[in-house]
Structure 1
């Protein structure tokens, strides 16, 4: 029996090793890319680190306990039964001079600002995991494909987790994207998937990229992690601050609440729009994903004029009801200094139209 067990474990190990060699898992940095990473002040003891180290699991909780709850306890309404409402906007016909955001569900969105087209964390494959039987998109949420997008000037990657960096989508977009802007190390994934080195721009925190005169993209910190296999922290996680002559936009990426929002305001000024992660949170892992009340607090600390929340309404990656992020942020945003936008998936958000109204579309959906 012992021999049989050893053989089975060995076969499982070999099968796992072979499966992890599939292109969906990307690549680890090496050579010159690794040398650049190792020179970063944020790379210590073999991996990237957050500015302030905090345990991933909150005191009083445990990873095994949270996994057990997810697998064996029933949490009501974690995903909708019926399809979610959505709008199919013709992005190919969108005028270049229109400042707009179109959210695709979860953290994927198209941003057109000052005639420049950005695409953030696109996931159009309908899944948030490369594993068979993994997390799938809700009905009605996966209505866009790479073919629906115009040419993209800059594709922004906040970090390389599967629900933000999707292999199938990245490959499908390769010939439509002029440049990818990602954290140090993440370019290894794109090179493995056929992107040319000149397409890839890898950045550390507190760096900048001149888009055109008066238009700058700043890469800022976040409090999170990275990794697509068993090795963690080999690429850097980012947030982005876009400063155009007439408007500024901040995208938080993923990350728990800390003092960085005050610092970002002090360093870059108040954004006209804050696109903030709000979803797939839990008190147990609040160090890496903000709770809705923290999103509202952070938005005020940024002095943002408008808030659009992402990281919800497409995939179930936490225990809360699927609609809870929208419900809670609506409550916490009452009588605040900013305006909350709650578009449906695919609905055009007109960045200069302060009178645009948004429905509470998640109400009464089973």
Structure 2
């Protein structure tokens, strides 16, 4: 059966699955202090999925919740970002443009950093299958202008998109990624000389900026089995005057306070607040945990990300931002919730205008495909 499954898997593979690390890249992975017993390990014990009920019940819950407010009642309002808006440097030296989900263009101290670029219509290795984006991208890659550094947090399809990477190869940008993920990038045409792979707490100087990969609580996978040779990370990016933090995907854990103490304070944090679920509470944060992480990080301004673009969990599509604002008000955190695509400077961020409430809920939405198939995992597939 195992041989048949492997043969079937080889037949359905596409370039989008990427490739496994080999050679010197693999040797470096095996030497990592975060790699043990054949796999990368989380900073604290972590389960990918918590099975309180059977896998079938989990899948049924995913599909059933597709009919309860998981999609907006109308088109999500998107700011059509134009090149001219990005032509002049930010007056404060720091400007952020949230382009949807975890994709953010950060302009700091004269450099431009693009986090987790995903322009694909679906986060999936196959055309026509998988979660479809709820809004168009606010700008074409070709209209972004120069990009100095592309930062990848991990290899899940809603954070690492082959077509977007290939489109960015011609920009001349440097690419920064956690250990192992460079294998995918090189497989898709990024020159090896432009790829920097970092382990947790390692730093590199790229384009006059200091990039540091920081611990995160998650996992990697672009296929039916959890990958063991690819690391996941959050990122600190520091220039001469400003510094920002991008969470990627992560569950909450005490390590945010250490990151804040070692690398903060941050002028802005971009923190995942959506796609949480009681079925995977240890690998994604709730909005309340996201606000808490922001405060642990010693962040000045919180930009909530990872919501409103893909239907990935059972919660209503607008719930993450409402819960984030409520938690921030209670804890005294400053939050910016721009329209998708609208650039802003954290030093003078506009107050939230609650743009999402106009299209908040669609009561009878069609069921959608589940982003990460839920099934029993063998022990060696679950990062500790």
Normalising by structure 1, what TM-score? 0.91
- Give unmatched runs, 5+ long, in structure 2: 362-384
User: How much has 1:63 moved relative to structure 2?
Assistant: 4.0
Q: Provide the aligned C-alpha RMSD in A.
A: 2.0
CA displacement at 1:75 relative to structure 2: 4.3
Which position in structure 2 is the counterpart of 1:223? 217
Q: Does 1:69 align with 2:61?
A: yes
1:18 to 11, 17, 21: 11
Provide the rounded CA distance (Å) in 2 between the counterparts of 1:73 and 1:339.
31
Secondary structure of 1:110's counterpart equals: strand
Give the counterpart of 1:363 among 335, 341, 357. Answer: 357
Counterparts of 1:1-366 in structure 2, within 5 Å, are 14-20=7-13, 22-58=14-50, 60-72=52-64, 75-91=67-83, 94-95=86-87, 97-98=89-90, 99-131=94-126, 132-138=128-134, 140-211=135-206, 215-229=209-223, 230-354=225-349, 356-365=350-359, 366=361
CA contact (8 A) 1:141 1:345 kept: no
**Residue-by-residue CA offset, 1:270-301 (whole Å, 9 max, x unaligned):** 21211100100012211000011111211222
TM-superposed CA distance for 1:303, in Å, is: 2.2
Higher relative contact order (CA 8 A, sep 6+): 2
| 1:96–1:183 CA distance, 2 compared to 1 (3 A) | farther
**1 CA distance for matches of 2:108 and 2:66?**
43
Q: Which whole-Å CA distance do the structure 2 matches of 1:233 and 1:107 have between them?
A: 23
Structure 1: segments with no counterpart, 5+ residues = 1-5
Aligned residues: 354
Distance 1:249 1:62, change over 3 A: farther
The Cα offsets for residues 221-265 of structure 1, whole Å up to 9 and x where unpaired, read as: 100000211351321111111222322211111110000111111
Query: Per-residue displacement from partner, 1:173-205 (whole Å, max 9, x unpaired)?
Result: 111142100001001111111111111000000
Give CA deviations for 1:7-48 in whole Å, capped at 9, x if unaligned.
Answer: xx95x864542221x111101101111011101011112221
Cα distance between partner residues in 2 of 1:212 and 1:249: 15
Question: CA distance change for structure 1 residues 364 and 93 in 2, over 3 Å: closer, same or farther?
Answer: closer
Q: Give the Cα separation in 1 of the matches to 2:65 and 2:260.
A: 41
Q: Is the 8 A contact 1:183 1:202 kept in 2?
A: yes
